Chains A and B, each alone.
Chain A
């Protein structure tokens, strides 16, 4: 049995034990999410318009991550709306920055890996860079949205009479923790992803000035920043949406009670 398959089986078992039904659904959300990424690669390689594919796959991937990954409908709905709005905003930012930075294509090792591969694939790599950046940030945004919504709902559950103001205060408090550590997920994820590149820079004696102008480094650092900006925007959006949704709910309940007493 190949190592990858063994690891996947262990993961599935653990997710079922720890997560129960939600765990199983989360497992499939991860699986589908990965397959969707591969599908994106295939569609782009067939020459279909990259911008259109990206626009279609943003909500598709968000829905996969959020709706399949969480079992609470209120959490899911709030997370999806705030994540989607934030994703569109961040996409605009990415388009602008990628245009300015011109950091598309393969990095300095290109000559070595490209043996036997086409150097003129007839695809717009600047556009592909935008797509990659958007998909890299999308996960962080969805995660922050879910962490915010589920944290707030958990407080609400244990403290049903909480006022909107108190909830917003709790939101800021949770938001700060989510922010501080979302930063770690993103930063270390990227460190872990690009460790070999950094070793390469170091061993080949790149100067600081060269590194901060180098395509792949700039791309990576920008993705970290896009993700942070996405997470930052998600915190107030989620709190606002949930607080608003809740106060409406309370009013409706109160009205129900009133009409019942009448």
Chain B
């Protein structure tokens, strides 16, 4: 009882601290290097229809104009008020509608003000607060390990990006392979601690990622990478093929780690509960678990990789492109990445069960 109580108290404290940080972020001024923060002073923004539009694809939309009064909150022009017009289309694909009382970024050059992004960072802090509070309430002490692991992942990710830019995209596959090895070791170490269960999981993860990546790479080579439209990858700042392969290596790692952990730790629980289990029974258990998990897990990645392309896909379809050409432009890379990841996930069932057998043997040896 007492343990539960402390957990909720800590969650409550985290909530208060989180909300305070959210407020601080919301009101923060003067900490941004490039842009200035400003606030829209209107309580009711004048918003008028300029014209109704119909484009060549018969899409109907409007052009609207907002007149904003903006008070700059930091920088050279602090305290000055500007009057600015903002043209937007209600679909907000590329334009932005502003709200009364909102805090936004502006850049001012030679007395001319240009509207920028609304301030969004505080929403991130708010959502992070909700996540952490829930995590503490449900998971207790475990939260620290999870948060440290998440923060470390971001830091390593940042480091790898710096390194990749330094190398200018050379050795990209090698770089991300090494990254996978380091990432998985650290994540598993933090969540499970250093023990034989963790080592078995790590081994299964590495086998799952690299054996299947090699297999898929072989298939790609054998089929001559036909119809692989690397050039359709978004935001390509370096060789798009390298980026695609790196994305695949990185994207699947978490899922394979997840799966290996699920299978190895569940089989480990089974070994604890039922000491006299035979290797054959254990393998059967592993296979059953794997069968249950692999479908949903593949779907997680499919949803992440494909849903990301949904806004563009909708736009292409809206503009009377055929399904085939839309698929080629917006979806084919995401789908290919999903399929390669799926192959890794399926093979990991085999490797994770195999590595659990090692655990059973160890335990037998100790007894």
Contacts and interface: CB of A to CB of B under 8 A. Distances in A.
B93 A106 contact: yes
Interface in A46-95: 65-66, 68-72, 75, 93
Interface string A190-231: 111111111110111001011011110010011001101100
Given A150-B289, A191-B251, A7 B339 contact: yes
A185 B253 CA distance: 7
Nearest to A9: B219
B165 interface: yes
Contact of B266 (A1, A29, A159, A174): A174
Contact of B294 (A23, A110, A151, A225): A23
A221 B118 CA distance: 16
Given A7-B336, A158-B274, A207-B34, A180 B261 contact: yes
Nearest to B147: A183
Nearest to A232: B134
B323 interface: yes
Contacts of B161: 195, 198-199, 202
Given A7-B336, A215-B117, A124 B91 contact: yes
B187 interface: yes
Contacts of B150: 183, 187
Contacts of B128: 225
B355 interface: no
Q: Max chain B CB contacts within 10 Å: which of A7, A97, A118, A236?
A: A118
Interface string A1-27: 111101110110011001110110110
A44 B314 contact: yes
A35 B22 CA distance: 40
Interface stretch (B40-48, B56-64, B66-74, B78-86): B56-64
Contacts of A151: 262, 266, 269, 289
Interface stretch (B12-20, B220-228, B357-365): B220-228
B243 interface: yes
A169 to B, nearest CB: 11
A188 B120 contact: no
A191 B255 CA distance: 12
A236 B139 CA distance: 10
Nearest to A47: B318
Interface in B234-288: 234-238, 240, 243, 246-255, 257-258, 261-262, 265-266, 269-270, 273-274, 277, 285, 287-288
B348 to A, nearest CB: 10
Give chain B's interface secondary structure class.
Answer: helix
Interface string B124-154: 1011101100110011001001100110010
Contacts of B253: 184, 188, 192
A183 B319 CA distance: 37
User: Which of the listed residues A11, A19, A100, A143 has the most CB atoms from chain B within 10 Å of its own CB?
Assistant: A143
26 contacts: A7-B336, A19-B295, A33-B302, A44-B314, A45-B317, A65-B295, A70-B291, A102-B96, A117-B315, A118-B55, A119-B94, A123-B91, A125-B311, A128-B310, A147-B262, A175-B138, A178-B262, A179-B139, A180-B146, A184-B255, A185-B254, A188-B183, A188-B257, A192-B305, A210-B32, A212-B124
Interface of A: 1-4, 6-8, 10-11, 14-15, 18-20, 22-23, 25-26, 29-30, 33-34, 37-38, 40-42, 44-45, 65-66, 68-72, 75, 93, 97, 100-107, 109-111, 113-114, 117-126, 128-129, 131-132, 135-136, 138-140, 142-143, 146-147, 150-151, 154-155, 158-159, 170, 173-200, 202-204, 207, 209-210, 212-215, 218, 221-222, 225-226, 228-229, 232-233, 235-236
Given A15-B346, A71-B291, A124-B92, 8 more contacts: A105-B92, A121-B315, A123-B91, A143-B299, A192-B251, A193-B305, A199-B237, A213-B117
